[in-house]
Amino acid sequence: MKRIESVNDFVIKFANVNGTGSASANNLFAKAVFRMGIPVSPKNIFPSNIQGLPTWYEVRVNDKGYLGRRGGIDIALSVNPQSMAQDIKEVLPGGYFIYDNTKPLDLRLHRSDITIIGVPLTRICNEQYEDPRQRQLFKNVVYVGVLAALLDMDFKVLSGLVEDQFKAKKNLVLSNIHALELGHQYVHNNLEHPIGITVHKSDQVGDKILLDGNTALGLGALYGGATVAAWYPITPSTSVVDAFEKYAKRVRIDPGTGQHNYAIVQAEDELAAIGMAIGASWNGARSFTATSGPGVSLMSEFLGLAYFAEIPTVLFNVQRAGPSTGMPTRTQQADILSCAYASHGDTKQVLLFPSTPKECFDFGALSFDLAERLQTPIILMTDLDLGMNDNMSEPLSWDDERKYDRGKVLTAEQLEDGVEFGRYLDVDGDAICYRTYPGTHPTKGAFFTRGTSRNEYAVYTEKGEEYEANMLRLLRKWDTINQYVPAPITVDCGMETETAVLYFGTSEESSREALDHLASEGIYLNAMRVRAFPFNKEVQDFIERHKEVFVIEQNRDAQLRTLLMAEFEFGPDKLKSVLCFDGTPISARNIRKQIKTHLNGDNVLPLHRNTALLRAGESR
Amino acid sequence: MSYQLPKFRHPALPVNDLGYTKADYEGAISTLCAGCGHDSISGAIVRACHELSIEPHKIAKLSGIGCSSKAPTYFLGNSHGFNSVHGRMPSVVTGAALANRDLLYMGVSGDGDTASIGMGQFAHVARRNLNMVYIVMNNGCYGLTKGQDSATADRGSASKKGEPNIYSAIDLCGTALQMGATFVARSFSGDKEQLVPLIKAAISHRGFALIDVVSPCVTFNNNPKSTKSYEFVREHSDATGTIDFVPMQKEITTQYQPGHSHEVTMHDGSSIRLYKMDESMNPFERRSAINALEEHRSSGNILTGLIYMNLDSRDLHEVLETSRRPLNSLDETDLCPGNKMLLNINASLR
């Protein structure tokens, strides 16, 4: 058997039981690697369940900084008998399987092409601890100690982390370090170590941070000046408002009076959640709601109202696998079309596509400026992978000189001075009209907001030409919007190429890695990361410049490709799909394989769509 | 019916404490059917706001969809209005009220908008005790879609089509009480003397104030077999008592029969006086109010007047401890913690 040997480059997967406290121990491991200066990307793969079902935590460690899902498992650490058969099967030949051998491994599961390492975790804990809950919790910490020894990690980094984590609780520091030592010691006394894979100190993370996108979004809302948050609990978006609340409690409560400079309402459903957000922003407060696909469906009617009546609205959509309840704890980018054209009638909604926690923060805060400047809903499209996993990211920063852009709002003084006010009157020629907040002036500036057709002065009308003129203005406004949304980022490979790739959101890391691998095989592709809808002219030019463009996305129906075709009228030959929709983040290996398959001449579009999809599936 | 409101006003029109005439509280001319109860309610709202000397622009009027929800166009023309989504007015008001606690929020809805499509939001806005006036223009039918029965139509009541309604009716006052509303009243569009003081009291109440106003639909539901017709309501209503509203710092001049009156000071310093009270009920006790509603229901009568008021009501802003300054008036200096905090957060994430 040829063992996998590597330094700072591997994928480890922890197999646990949901609700046993494994998450914090696994996190301890990932963060320790990160503190040793090596890029990591941990991913939770968890069930829609609170306690009892299998849950996994996959950590990619990569000195080169590739953070996307790689595919393949080098080390599996299994403490869950339920999933053991599957877990051992997944290990790549030459890899390592570490398990709790208090109960011996089922002989049928044995593999001769991997290294199997048994550690009696349960026995160690049963001997050490009386309390059953402690036995369970510390078992997780013990295996982190085991890993530290097997992978030759710096134990001081681990103990330092524990000290930081439990700063105020000295006894917790000691007991956790003791548990780490138990595992560490066991390996030293009983096992051959280190194994072929090791972790050594490096300097590849710079000033980067490890943060989940949802927390970054919550912070973005806080910095962006949101004062009203209305939401309905739904995985995977719940932690957005949790984070907003956590930090708002810290900085938005007057220590003297106890008064809150924010209001959070857990609504009765998503319809009410967005209704509240719209009501608050209609009345001049910055507000937002956060949800996922099923919530977007419920919010669609209101999104149409906000589009048509031109009310600033901020919606954070943390996407998950649909349709319907789908796979609620798995990731996808499958709400592109339902959001881009959300609601009945002719609508177009602004979408933002962040790729990193830093962008979640930046775009999160920017959403409020854009919503008020453009007077329309801004839907920020993130997903479970970015939202709920710790992602390595540039540090967050804020320009203290920055002022909020509150958009075109007439003041009492302006009204008093006799400025002509028509709520839907395009005074500046950019198709964005002036609005007033309720309560501004005793006799001037009041208007009636409605979802029905109205004239430029907000007076109800059923005249076709007035309705049409308004709808055309909204289309012109779309051009103005285009100048405000974040531009795409082009990654030039340094030469003219016929073929290119286009991606967005969480496909970035894997796409970049796939491109590097393809380049090393002599296949060079220009690339573009789209960051918003409406698509910038640069996107159109980029696609036109190339003969063929692969659109990489994490859904079944190639939704971004459809949107590009609809908006630019590209033919289907021009845009090819690279898809992944099994609920796991798209991997670099998958992308590379799909592109190569196509470039190697397998470019005849199968008669049946299913065949094409099956092919995409096989190459995962 | 003319399609434009005459601009001319009688020079001697009485002005209120702010110098506004009643005309300053009126809206566009109504496009509802002639004789529609909703127009009378609009008139009562205009009168109440004028007499209370509320600055017209300090009111926001919001509604859902339906005949009732069109009504806000026809009153308070100097106030911002929002004709939102069917059944979703409560959520929009909730957001608006959170953004600026200094305005008066007047929600107008109908029986379809509230008791059917909007039942969930109605229940929850009551439960949260949002500081608002919630007026239901209740005619037991869907007017804009030509007269289908609504969920408040009584079992056996028949609209113009003649088919008796086969389902039991939802009593909005009873529902609101169950959901925790802190002010519940019922009135009749044809009884302004009762409705105007009730609207005033609802405005003064701090918290969620429901007024369920039976408001006959002259086109589809004003026939002999309907229990929401002018005639039926006139013949079958029982008032809990007579209510008089006395604004803050106004002298009480009315003389009352001794023995049956009850004066209550409201949160804002104004007071209401209840007289000729039905002695079998106490509108300051929820259980008593629920019993009274049920007794009248079972005897086939409509209980009107003030049904319940909680004098210790704490509204949503108090519960959430939101800033006294309206949230929509806060800026970067109030809201943004600055880069220094991010440096600390970054450090904790390494």
In this predicted model, what pLDDT tens digit does every residue of B216-226 receive, in sequence order?
999 999 999 99
Residue among A228, A301, A404 whose CB faces B99 most closely: A228
Judged against a pLDDT cut of 50, whether residue A618 lies above it is answered with: no
CB contact under 8 A, B103 and A438: yes
Which of B82, B320, B321, B344 is the best residue to mutate to test the A interface, defined by the most A CB atoms within 10 Å of its own CB? B82
Average pLDDT over chain A reads 95
Judged against a pLDDT cut of 50, whether residue A620 lies above it is answered with: no
Check if the beta carbon of residue A80 is closer than 8 Å to that of residue A15. yes
Tell me which chain A residue has its CA closest to the CA of residue B325: A261
Q: What is the pLDDT of residues B19-74, one digit of tens each?
A: 999 999 999 999 999 999 999 999 999 999 999 999 999 999 999 999 999 999 99
CB contact under 8 A, A272 and B80: no
Residues of B in contact with A283 (CB under 8 A): 60, 95-96, 99-100, 103, 328
Check if the beta carbon of residue B43 is closer than 8 Å to that of residue B57. no
Tell me which chain A residue has its CA closest to the CA of residue B75: A448
List, in order, residues 6 or more apart from A404 with CB less than 8 Å away.
A224, A225, A286, A368, A369, A372, B331, B332
Check if the beta carbon of residue B98 is closer than 8 Å to that of residue B328. no
**Crossing angle (nearest 10°) for helices B89-99 and B119-128:** 30
Q: 């968890």: which residue's tokens? A: A46
Q: How far apart are CA A126 and CA A124, in angstroms?
A: 6
Predicted confidence at residue B251, as pLDDT, reads 57
Stretch among A180-194, A200-214, A223-237, B234-248 having the lowest mean pLDDT: B234-248
Tell me which chain A residue has its CA closest to the CA of residue B93: A279
In a domain, B17, yes or no: no
Residue among A265, A442, A448 whose CB faces B56 most closely: A442
B198-201 contacts: CB < 8 A, separation 24 or more? B198/B243, B198/B305, B198/B306, B199/B44, B199/B45, B199/B48, B199/B133, B199/B135, B200/B48, B200/B51, B200/B52, B200/B245, B200/B247, B200/B270, B201/B243, B201/B245, B201/B266, B201/B272, B201/B306, B201/B309
Assigned architecture for domain A6-198:
3-Layer(aba) Sandwich (3.40)
* Chain A contact present for B21, CB below 8 A: no
Residue among B80, B102, B123 whose CB faces A446 most closely: B80
Residue among A211, A230, A451 whose CB faces B349 most closely: A211
In a domain, B349, yes or no: no
Residue range A224-239: mean pLDDT, rounded: 97
3-state secondary structure of A620: coil
* CATH number of the domain within which B128 lies: 3.40.50.970
Q: Chain B window 24-63: which residues touch A at a Cβ cutoff of 8 Å?
A: 55-58, 60, 62
Residues of A in contact with B97 (CB under 8 A): 279
CB contact under 8 A, A263 and B79: no
Q: What angle do CA B275, B277, B281 make, to 5 degrees?
A: 145
Tell me which chain A residue has its CA closest to the CA of residue B70: A450
Predicted confidence at residue A572, as pLDDT, reads 86
Residues of B in contact with A404 (CB under 8 A): 331-332
Which of A40, A163, A227, A453 is the best residue to mutate to test the B interface, defined by the most B CB atoms within 10 Å of its own CB? A227
Q: How far apart are CA A549 and CA A571, in angstroms?
A: 11
User: Which tokens hold the place of B184?
Assistant: 């519940």
Residues of A in contact with B337 (CB under 8 A): 222-223, 247, 251
User: Which tokens hold the place of A246?
Assistant: 């956590």
* Chain A contact present for B3, CB below 8 A: no
Judged against a pLDDT cut of 70, whether residue B79 lies above it is answered with: yes
Predicted confidence at residue A20, as pLDDT, reads 87
Q: What angle do CA A296, A299, A303 make, to 5 degrees?
A: 105
CB contact under 8 A, A285 and B100: yes
In a domain, B106, yes or no: yes
Q: How far is B122 from chain A (nearest CA, A)?
A: 10
Check if the beta carbon of residue B294 is closer than 8 Å to that of residue B281. no
Confidence bin at A51 (pLDDT 50/70/90): confident
Predicted confidence at residue B250, as pLDDT, reads 64
Check if the beta carbon of residue A195 is closer than 8 Å to that of residue A223. no
Predicted confidence at residue B2, as pLDDT, reads 46
Confidence bin at B13 (pLDDT 50/70/90): confident
Residue range A213-228: mean pLDDT, rounded: 98
Check if the beta carbon of residue B207 is closer than 8 Å to that of residue B311. no
Assigned architecture for domain A489-618:
3-Layer(aba) Sandwich (3.40)
- E-assigned strand segments in A232-284: 263-266
* Chain A contact present for B319, CB below 8 A: no
- E-assigned strand segments in A188-247: 197-198, 209-212, 228-231
Stretch among A153-162, A386-395, B262-271, B340-349 having the lowest mean pLDDT: B262-271
In a domain, B204, yes or no: yes
* Chain A contact present for B195, CB below 8 A: no
Predicted confidence at residue B246, as pLDDT, reads 87
Predicted confidence at residue B262, as pLDDT, reads 79
Predicted confidence at residue B260, as pLDDT, reads 61
CB contact under 8 A, A225 and B331: yes
User: Which tokens hold the place of A258?
Assistant: 């106890």
Domain limits, chain A = 6-198, 211-393, 412-484, 489-618
Strand partners, A263: A228
Check if the beta carbon of residue B185 is closer than 8 Å to that of residue B197. no
Judged against a pLDDT cut of 90, whether residue A555 lies above it is answered with: yes
CB contact under 8 A, B94 and A272: yes
Predicted confidence at residue B276, as pLDDT, reads 79
Residue among A208, A302, A400 whose CB faces B339 most closely: A400
Q: What is the pLDDT of residues B274-319, one digit of tens each?
A: 887 788 889 999 999 999 999 999 999 999 999 999 999 999 999 9
Q: How far apart are CA A564 and CA A570, in angstroms?
A: 7
Residue range A348-373: mean pLDDT, rounded: 98
Q: Are strands A73-78 and A197-198 parallel, antiparallel or unpaired?
A: unpaired
CB contact under 8 A, B95 and A287: yes
CB contact under 8 A, B81 and A282: no
Instruction: List the alpha helices (DSSP H) in A402-558.
Output: 412-416, 464-484, 508-520, 537-545
3-state secondary structure of A9: strand
> Which of the pair, A37 or B274, is modelled with greater confidence?
A37
Q: Please name which of B203, B214, B216, B224 lies closest in space to residue B309, comparing C-alpha atoms.
A: B203
Q: What angle do CA B50, B55, B59 make, to 5 degrees?
A: 95
Judged against a pLDDT cut of 60, whether residue B15 lies above it is answered with: yes
CB contact under 8 A, A437 and B56: no
Residue among A228, A271, A402 whose CB faces B95 most closely: A228
CB contact under 8 A, A258 and B321: yes
Q: Chain B window 121-150: which residues touch A at a Cβ cutoff of 8 Å?
A: 121, 123-124, 128
Residue among B62, B90, B342 whose CB faces A397 most closely: B342
CB contact under 8 A, A278 and B73: no
In a domain, B348, yes or no: no
Distances (CA, A) of A489 to B139, B245, B253: 59, 66, 75
Which of B327, B329, B332, B333 is the best residue to mutate to test the A interface, defined by the most A CB atoms within 10 Å of its own CB? B327
Distances (CA, A) of B61 to A228, A321, A534, B20, B72: 20, 40, 34, 19, 6
Q: Chain B window 71-110: which residues touch A at a Cβ cutoff of 8 Å?
A: 72-73, 77-85, 88, 90-100, 102-103
Q: How far is B139 from chain A (nearest CA, A)?
A: 23
SS (H, E, C) A15-56: EEECCCCHHHHHHHHHHHHHHCCCCEEEEEECCCCCCCCEEE
| CATH entry 1.25.40.20 includes domain A211-393 | no
Residue range B235-243: mean pLDDT, rounded: 91
* Chain A contact present for B170, CB below 8 A: no
Q: How far apart are CA A163 and CA A609, in angstroms?
A: 55
**Fold equal for A211-393 and A489-618:** yes
Distances (CA, A) of A436 to A414, A425, B92, B305: 11, 13, 17, 37
When divided into structural domains, chain B yields a total of 1
List, in order, residues 6 or more apart from A256 with CB less than 8 Å away.
none
Q: What is the pLDDT of residues A264-306, one digit of tens each?
A: 999 999 999 999 999 999 999 999 999 999 999 999 999 999 9
Q: How far is B260 from chain A (nearest CA, A)?
A: 41
Q: What is the pLDDT of residues A378-431, one digit of tens each?
A: 999 999 999 999 999 999 999 999 999 999 999 999 999 999 999 999 999 999
Judged against a pLDDT cut of 80, whether residue B7 lies above it is answered with: no
Predicted confidence at residue B10, as pLDDT, reads 76
Q: How far is A420 from chain B (nearest CA, A)?
A: 16
Predicted confidence at residue A602, as pLDDT, reads 58
**Containing structural domain, residue B329:** 22-333
Q: How far apart are CA B111 and CA B23, in angstroms?
A: 29
Q: How far is A467 from chain B (nearest CA, A)?
A: 17
In a domain, B344, yes or no: no
Residues of A in contact with B326 (CB under 8 A): 285
The half-sphere exposure of A333 on its side-chain side, counting CA atoms within 13 A, is: 31
For chain A, give the percent of residues with pLDDT over 90: 91
Tell me which chain A residue has its CA closest to the CA of residue B74: A448
Residue range B207-214: mean pLDDT, rounded: 98
Residues of B in contact with A440 (CB under 8 A): 57
Q: 């460690």: which residue's tokens? A: A61
Q: How far is B181 from chain A (nearest CA, A)?
A: 16
Q: pTM of the prediction?
A: 0.95
Residues of B in contact with A219 (CB under 8 A): 342, 345
Q: How far apart are CA A214 and CA A221, in angstroms?
A: 11
Q: How far apart are CA B27 and CA B83, in angstroms?
A: 14
Judged against a pLDDT cut of 80, whether residue A604 lies above it is answered with: no
Confidence bin at A49 (pLDDT 50/70/90): confident
Q: Are strands A40-45 and B59-63 parallel, antiparallel or unpaired?
A: unpaired
Q: What is the pLDDT of residues B137-187, one digit of tens each?
A: 999 999 999 999 999 999 999 999 999 999 999 999 999 999 999 999 999
What is the predicted ipTM?
0.95
DSSP symbol at B188? E
